[in-house]
Structure 1
Amino acid sequence: MTPPRILCVQAHPDDETIWTGGTLARHCAAGGEADVVTTTWAAGQPRHRELVDALQALGLPREPIMLGYADGGVPTSSDLPPLVDVPFDDAVGALTRHVRDLRPDIILTTDAFGIYGHPDHIHTHRLCLAAAEAAAEPHLYLDAGAPWRVSSLYFVTVSESRSRQAWEQVMTTRVAGRPAEAEELMRFGTPDDRIDDVVDVRGVLDRKWRALQAHRTEFERSRTLRAIRALDDAAREALLGWECYLRRDLVGGGRALVD
């Protein structure tokens, strides 16, 4: 069977690599097609150019598509309003157009909690749900192309058991030596018995790590990324070497993410 076509929709440049980079690299290395839509940041901004470099490192053949709304934490990221302030129907229509144009079998995005509660992540999750449904409905967004039915949605999440120790190490490092409350260390995660798919990406971890390091301005800004860089190889593999998903099929049988 032909590999499924994947569309990865994430909120910010670097989300595509941290959460789904190994899946994308593995898929493209096996001859599959994949594209990335990023819901915030305007094309031409430094983080957009870093995202282009990251996708090249992952082996994606095309540059990312930017919806171009402002990052909720960085008003200068775009001349458009922040993502969460844009009329929902407008944003759904914009994403629906790309779904119909790219015709993916699978959409990857974050889980309903946005992995750790980030408003832009949560909003992007909701946009994906709405756009996947709308893309198949011929009476919606008549000017957004011919209808297309997505087979499956995969929501990336964090396994409570598999990643907890590594994430706690990262969070302990990022609080700059002060004691951290338990809820600050780990405010997210999905019980293992709820996780549908675990993708072992250790075979492409070098690509994923190169792609992550392409996001240079985020390493300058983000204590979390600097903490990941400070991990030893074993801890970094434990953190980044598996990608966990919740699966929702939109058609009978859906499409498998990994054969």
Structure 2
Amino acid sequence: MSERSTVGEGLTDARDPMATDAARDRSVAAAGAALRLMAVHAHPDDESSKGAASLAKYAHDGVGVLVVSCTGGERGDVLNPKFADMDIDIPALRVAEMARAAEILGVAHAWLGFTDSGYHEGAPETWTLPEDSFGALDPAIEIEALVRLVRAFRPHVMTTYDENGGYPHPDHIRCHVVSIAAFEAAGDPDAYPGTGDPWQPLKLYYNVGFSKQRMLAINDAVRERTGEGPFDDWIKRFSENPRPDPGVRVTTKIAAADFFPQRDAALKAHETQIDPNAHWFAVPHDIEASVWATDDYELARSLVDTEMPETDLFAGIRERVVS
């Protein structure tokens, strides 16, 4: 067995009862791929609502894709009415949901091993977080864990959230902090000794999923055909409580319309977190593809030369890695 394959086997969390032979095979294949992408997310389900179509596309094209879930989503609310009157084991169910989503997307998956902080209303300075949670612990512990994983998987590209977390959830904001620090530290031989040989990723991106321009374009196109806008309420809330629009910072658009069905199927696999009748699934794929056929990203760090706008997360890398 090659060194890459040995590393790949180590990426599958042995504590995960859903770590099937197929999941282990995906981990080995991802670690052995010539080009490798690590998508760092706060909770299981985030990978399916942010950039999922492009993850499926890259995996389909032979890129090694590893999704990292920083927490287990243990404190997430149950949002599907199907479970309203059921006594369920949320932590165990979310592990199972994540396993199904990873299989649907065709990606490898690893748990970073921290506990969900729960959603908190109001300004960050008013939050009181559980002491054992991802958002409350010493970030150095979490950075070390991610550095260890980066050095094991050796990604060329990493993706995560911007400084606002995509939206103000403590775990999303901490995910940004940890991802940035791990990107910088993983290649430093003096940083975090004992966590593996140094490895420097070459590019870091922020997911840009819910830009106002994208939501308006899709909403208007659906209304033109059906008479109803599925995102009317979202757009109204955005207008009443404006947040920084990440759409103005997009540098990179990945054509991924062919993988929208896989994206939706993966999101539905997280069934405690999404109502299958939710407005997210009210958009016909042909309409979405006609007005917004891409997953969008912001290039936050690059150690290679590239030209904007980009159409490939590996722009400036492919020619260096693949002969």
The interval holding the TM-score normalised by the smaller chain is 0.7 to 0.9
Determine if the alignment matches structure 1 residue 210 to structure 2 residue 277: no
Kept in 2, the 8 Å contact 1:96–1:134? The answer is: yes
TM-score of the aligned structures, taking structure 2 as reference length: 0.67
Match among 76, 86, 102 for residue 153 of structure 2: 102
Q: Which residue of 2 aligns with 1:23?
A: 54
What number of residue pairs does the alignment pair up?
245
Task: Output the amino acid matched with 1:247.
Answer: L
Q: Which residue of 1 aligns with 2:298?
A: 246
Task: Output the amino acid matched with 1:29.
Answer: H
| 1:177-232 superposed Cα distances (whole Å, 9 cap, x missing partner) | xx757234x5342244x311011211111111111111111125x9xx82213445
Sequence identity percentage: 27
Unaligned runs of 5+ residues in structure 1 are none
RMSD of equivalent CA atoms: 3.1
Q: Give the drift of 1:3.
A: 5.5
Determine if the alignment matches structure 1 residue 55 to structure 2 residue 55: no
TM-score of the aligned structures, taking structure 1 as reference length: 0.82
Query: Using the alignment, how far apart are the partners of 1:167 and 1:110 within structure 2?
Result: 24
Q: Give the drift of 1:92.
A: 0.4
| 1:155-188 superposed Cα distances (whole Å, 9 cap, x missing partner) | 111433223354795554479xxx757234x534
Q: Which residue of 2 aligns with 1:71?
A: 116
Larger helix percent: 1
Q: Which residue of 2 aligns with 1:9?
A: 40
Q: Secondary structure at the match of 2:166?
A: helix
Q: Which residue of 2 aligns with 1:182?
A: 239
Unaligned runs of 5+ residues in structure 2 are 1-32, 75-90, 120-129, 221-228, 316-323
Query: Using the alignment, how far apart are the partners of 2:240 and 2:161 within structure 1?
Result: 21
Change (3 A) 1:188 1:164: farther
Q: Secondary structure at the match of 1:84?
A: coil
Kept in 2, the 8 Å contact 1:69–1:82? The answer is: yes
| 1:71-117 superposed Cα distances (whole Å, 9 cap, x missing partner) | 2227xxxx982111111100000111000000000001122211222
Q: Secondary structure at the match of 1:111?
A: coil
Q: Secondary structure at the match of 1:117?
A: coil
Change (3 A) 1:181 1:115: closer
Q: Which residue of 1 aligns with 2:251?
A: 196
Q: Give the drift of 1:7.
A: 0.4
Higher relative contact order (CA 8 A, sep 6+): 1
